[in-house]
Amino acid sequence: MNPDAKIIAAFQESPEAYLSLAKLESVTGVPRTSIASRLQLLTDHGYVFEQHPHHGYRLVEEPDRLTADAIQAVYSGGKVGSQILVFESTSSTSDVIARHASRARDGLVVFAETQTRGRGRQGRSWVSPRGKGLWFSILLRPTGGAAQAQQLTVSASVAVAHVLREEAKVDARIKWPNDIVCGSRKLAGILTEYRDTAAILGIGIDVNLNKDDFPAELQTTATSLLIETGRVHDRNRLAGRLLAALDQHYTTMARNFETVIDQWAGLSVTLGQQVKIRQGDQLREGLAQALDGQGRLILRKDNGQVEYLVGGEVTGG
Ligand code: BTN
């Protein structure tokens, strides 16, 4: 953790308290001589501190702006998040990862405040208004290569759904293949792409979008944490929690994917349902029975035949 992340973390751990320079030095290890100038820099970036002549400083406001320091104050890093970059604007965070893929460390995460050409599944675009969501991509090289793509997506959807449930207290569930939904509305999406041996896990979460932030055609099918809960959510905190959960599920996936499948089943709105699944111009119909060991959906058709599916769109059921 760098010094600014340590200072932010110290204030977040004692939300109401005044912290003296001596206390900040002992908690963060940052020399007290440089703390005042760092607090000034944080102030320039939108943090507001209240200063008490005897007791020190209290953090009273944090900017609604994603920064690597503020994310690292919540999650100091594991494999996922070995390096965190935050862009003001980019075409797609997955494009940035693709450009860095040959040189970058496993676990690199790229966030952007807005994307000008965000991509969704099935060739769709992904609406990414500035400062309203979490639009990010992660570079991973699973030992099983592209064969593990489906496991990776399944694990990520479990991690995302868990964190949204815990942090925002919404009833986030998973609609196959990997939409995170609240009721019948989509709250988040995941798109896994492969370049050579590298997986690019792209995650989009609608955090603080109002209805009007969605284009008209999505206003009846999409939702956000703000719409669901009526309050604005701290995106840095959420980002930190998400990276921690993604890291944990990435480890579990490699050791014991069965556990992840069980968690997925507990959150799924698709399993046990009679569904129609569109894949290109083909429509398949049957019972969504379970996920197999590779993360594929086992679809039992009415004629008893079984199919194993890795992508598509649930259109009914
Ligand atoms: C879906 O269609 O459900 C998947 C949406 C994935 C969107 C995210 S936002 C961050 C990353 N960059 C992109 O261009 N797409 C993914």
Q: Tokens 């979490």 label which residue?
A: 134
Does ligand 1 lie within 6 Å of residue 118's CB atom? yes
Q: Which atom of ligand 1 is nearest to the CA of 91?
A: 14
Find out whether the peptide bond into 142 is cis, omega within 30 degrees of 0: no
Q: CA 47 to CA 56: how far, in whole Å?
A: 16
Residue 302 DSSP one-character state: T
Torsions phi, psi for 218 (to 5 deg): -105, -5
How do 313-316 and 274-279 pair as beta strands? antiparallel
Q: CA 65 to CA 62: how far, in whole Å?
A: 8
Which tens digit of pLDDT belongs to each residue from 27-59?
999 998 999 999 999 999 999 999 999 999 999
Cβ atoms of 287 and 281 closer than 8 Å: no
pLDDT at 147: 82
Distance between Cα 227 and ligand 1 center (Å) = 20
pLDDT at 317: 45
pLDDT at 59: 95
pLDDT at 316: 60
Distance between Cα 162 and ligand 1 center (Å) = 19
CB proximity list for 218: less than 8 A, separation 6 or greater: 127
Smallest CA separation from ligand 1 atom 9, residue: 204
Q: CA 13 to CA 301: how far, in whole Å?
A: 53
Does ligand 1 lie within 6 Å of residue 120's CB atom? yes
Does ligand 1 lie within 6 Å of residue 92's CB atom? yes
Q: Which atom of ligand 1 is nearest to the CA of 136?
A: 10
Distance between Cα 184 and ligand 1 center (Å) = 19
Cβ atoms of 119 and 125 closer than 8 Å: yes
Residues of the chain under the 50 pLDDT cut: 317
